[in-house]
Structures are given as C-alpha cells and as structure tokens.
Structure 1
C-alpha cells in the first residue's frame, strides 16, 4: 500500500518543519512538499497532486479560504484539512463551504493530526474536539475578531475611503504591507470584499 501523500502550506518555517518532523515517523504518510504562500501552495498542489493538503488559513498573499475553494474545484480528489489557530465558528463554516474535509487546531496532538489525515483520506470529515464543541454551541451574535493595533489603524483608514497607497504613505510602510493587512482583515472578518468588511466592522462596533 502506497503512503498517503501530504502537502503542507504554512507561512511559518518552524510550523512547516515541525509538521514534517511529526509526520516523518508515520510509515503510512509521506510529506511530498511544503509551501510558504498561497501561490506556492496552488502551484505545488497542481504539480505534485497530493492526497491530503494541510492548509493554514492566514497566508501572506492569498487567503487559505480562496486556496481551498480553488483547489477543491480543480482537484476534486484532493482532501483539504484546515490547520489553524482560528477557533471560531465562522472560519470553520467558511472553510467547509470552500470544500475542506477537516479542521484541526494547531495545538492538536500529533496523534490527532495523524487521525485527521487518515480519516479525510478515507473520505470522512474530521474536526478537532474543540471545533466539534464549537459547532454544537447555540448560535450567538458573532464576536468581534481580535485585531492588532496596526490592523485597527488600517481598518479605520479603509473605512474613511483611503486607498492602499495613501494609507501606506501615511503610516510610512510599504504598499505590500498594507495589502497584506487588507487580506488579513478580510480573512479575520470572513468576508471577500471591502464593502462587506466595513459593514461587518461597523455592526461589531469597531468603526
């Protein structure tokens, strides 16, 4: 029996290497590649055609949500497991809608990660215990995401109608840095455009 081919997409080198080290002793798993960005992950998945993709949601260029949706459409046999620190129902729901087969928190034990890989490979769904409890909770008003001080500054500037270049000039940072903050804000609020970002931020009292 050939091993389950796994691709890891995470922007932190320590996480990538740690996951490789955790999975290496498993005879039934083979890490065939790693990627640090969404674009690299898309290219690697298309080239390597892994069985399972361990995908971080918060990537520096393309949201993990978009990567998941794209690959789910292009590679229907690929099983995608979100591997993230985001323990919020909104993210779980959106990843499932995007085609993910599992959702595992980064504080999971190695045994849990191995179980997630084998279960999704077998065509089943897998959620961390904490995520399962989250899904069973009675719906409540959405909680405001935790924002850094700089993210709050960028959010306020976006709401005021300023362009990314204008914000970058005012904050004395690069345009790329502001675009990264924009993408992170969209991910944290679970939206895909600026209008929805501003509306949801206003509803949550952040503007």
Structure 2
C-alpha cells in the first residue's frame, strides 16, 4: 500500500482526488490517501506521515505566500524519498522556473486527462517498494483548530473568529496557543500568523 498526500486549495479537487485514487479497479496498487488545503499543515503532515507521493497544486497558493521561497521549506521536507507530482491549476513562468531547482518527478496541468494522470501516478509509485504496514494518517490539528487556523490566516480578529465559529473569544485564544504548540512555532517565526486584527 502506498501513501499519497494531496495538497490543494480547492475542496472539490481534494475530495475528487481522494475518491478517484481509492477506486481499486483503476490502479494496480492500493493507496492510503490524505488531503490538505494548508501549506503549513502539509509540511508538518509530510514530516510525520512520510507519504510515498505528494500531489500538489502550488499555483493555487500563489496569492497566500509572501515570497516564492516559502515553498522551499515544503520541498525540503520531501527530500529524496518522497516523490512530488505537481498538478497545477495554472501556468506561471516564475513558479515554473523556481521549481526547476527541486526534485519534482513530473508537472501536469489539471486539464490533463485522467488517463495521463493515472499513468504518471502508476509510474511514480510502482518505482518504489510497497509498504507492508502503513501507519494511519493522524491529523496534526483537530477540525476545530483547522477552522481557527484558516480564519486566523485570513487576518480575522479573535472576536470575529469566535463569532464565526460560535465559540467564546477566550476559547479562540486557547486554540491559537494549541496550534502554535502543535506546529512548534513561536511569534518570532510566524509573522504570517501575526496579521492585523482588522477584518471582521
């Protein structure tokens, strides 16, 4: 069984890929699939779960990153043992040029046919030895913490997050503290989490 991590901003792509990859009659190998919509969580998930293949649409995160080099940390945790297949939702010369310095197995556009994508996935995973006892994917953050993190990264205030999630403002503070602890971060290294509390 092979472990595949799908990283994509689009909910429909994530759920569609999970469903498609889990169809046993389409692929000669069986897959354990996890999907995430957050680059920071994806990096931590890769470190802990060690997937065989990462399928990512990094083009979809282009407007979220402050500098293109932030993507280097994602590739650095993949190393040589984890294969990367970029399944991009658009074309960007700057991103494409930047990606050439990393060990990316293949890059396809999302407009590629499912047959082409299936052949690429088969070729990548079948070149690796099969795992006999895969570890189950354990989420790093709870669902509620993921919701808080998503709203937090949008720049919402604690009160705005509390209102949106129907929880107490002090509870939001506790969630934020837990998120920092679980992701091993402090304020000095998380400037993107220290956004102004202006959006309501």
Residue 185 of structure 2 aligns with which residue? none
Among 87, 93, 97, the residue aligned to 1:93: 97
> Quick one: distance in 2 between partners of 1:4 and 1:86?
28
Q: How far, CA to CA, are the matches of 2:70 and 2:86 in structure 1?
A: 11
CA distance in 1, matches of 2:122, 2:68: 22
CA spacing shift, 1:39–1:61, aligned 2, 3 Å: farther
TM-score in terms of structure 1 length? 0.51
Pick aligned residue for 2:84 from 80, 85, 90:
80
Distance apart, 1:29 and its partner CA: 4.0
- Deviation for aligned residue 1:6: 0.7
Whether the 8 Å contact between 1:55 and 1:83 is mirrored in structure 2 is yes
- 1:30 is aligned to 2:10: no
Q: Give 1:83 deviation, angstroms.
A: 1.2
Alpha carbons of structure 1 residues 41 and 90: separation in structure 2 relative to 1, 3 Å: same
Deviation at 1:102, TM superposition (A): 1.4
Normalising by structure 2, we get a TM-score of: 0.53
CA distance in 1, matches of 2:37, 2:124: 23
Counterpart in the other structure of 1:180: none
Query: Could you list the runs of 5+ residues in structure 2 that have no partner in the other structure?
Result: 129-152, 157-200
**Segments of 4+ moved more than 4 angstroms:** 60-68
Q: Which structure is higher in helix share? A: 1
Cα deviation for residue 27 of structure 1 reads 4.5
- SS of 1:116 mapped into structure 2: helix
Q: For the aligned residues, what is the CA RMSD? A: 3.0
* 1:22–1:110 Cα contact (<8 Å) kept: no
Does 1:176 pair with 2:160? no
